[in-house]
Amino acid sequence: MVRFENVGLRYGMGPEILRDLTFDIPPHSLQFLTGPSGAGKTTLLKLILQTLRPTRGLVTLFGHDTALLDKDAVTRLRRRIGVVFQDFRLLDHLTTYENVALPLRVQGKEERSYQPEVIELLKWVGLGDRMHVPPAILSGGEKQRAAIARATISRPELLLADEPTGNVDPSLARRLLRLFVEMNRSGTSIVLATHDLALMDQVDARRMVLAEGRLHVYD
C-alpha cells in the first residue's frame, strides 16, 4: 500500500532531517508511529500523504511511483486516504455534522444515504448534542473528535492519524482507539502517530520509532 525506499528529506541546502527511511505499510495493517517531540512524525505523515516530496529515494503509494505522477494523479490517490490533523482543519462555516459528512458529499452521495451513519458516529464519539453547532463553539477535545469522525466516516483504505488522542481524557482515548482497531479489522490500514506509551500498550501492533532522523520498525 505504501513503500519507502532510502527516502531522505532536507530543506534547502541544510542537513537531512529524515534519512534512509525504508519501510512499508501493508494492506489491512495497524502500526503506531512514535518518537520524541520534534523527531519528525508529522513530517513523515506528510511524506506519505505527498503534501511533502522527498529530497531523494522512492515513495510508492497504492502501487504508483509518486515521482512519476502529476498533481491530478496525486490528488486522486489522496482521496483514498483519511487524515486526522493536529490542527483539526474543520471548516468554520459548516456545522459539526456538515464537517463530518463533507467527505461523503464530495463523493456525490445523497444525504439520505449517509445521514444515519453520520449521526451514529457523532453520538459514538460523544458529539451527539453538538452536531448542529459550528467549530468555534467546540472545545479542543471536541474538535479533535469531530476531526476523527470526519476522517473515518468514508472508511478510507489508509488512515493517517497525527496524535489523535492528544486532547482527550484517557477514558475517551481508549474508546477512540477501539474505533481505530475496528476500522482496521474492517480493512483500513492505519498509521497512528502518538507519544502515549500507555495507549500503545493496549494493542498488539507494529511500532515504528522515529529518532534522530532514522526510523526503526519493531513488529
Architecture of domain 2-80+156-218: 3-Layer(aba) Sandwich (3.40)
- Per-residue b or e along 121-159, where b marks 16 or more CB atoms closer than 10 Å to that residue's CB: bbeebebeebbeebbeebeeebbbbbbbbbbbbbebbbb
Question: Which tens digits make up the pLDDT trace of 80-105?
Answer: 999 998 888 999 999 999 999 999 99
Q: What is the pLDDT tens value at each position of the chain, 219 positions in all?
A: 999 999 999 998 889 999 999 999 999 999 999 999 889 999 999 999 999 999 999 999 999 999 999 999 999 999 899 999 888 899 999 999 999 999 999 889 999 999 999 999 999 888 999 999 999 999 988 998 899 999 999 999 999 999 988 878 888 888 889 889 988 999 999 999 998 888 899 999 999 999 999 999 998
pLDDT at 140: 87
How confident is the model at residue 173, as a pLDDT? 87
Residue whose C-alpha is closest to residue 193's, from 61, 41, 82: 41
| Per-position DSSP letters for 18-73, written without gaps between them | EEEEEEEE-TT-EEEEE-STTSSHHHHHHHHHTSS--SEEEEEETTEEGGG--HHH
What are the residue ranges spanned by the domains of the chain? 2-80+156-218, 92-154
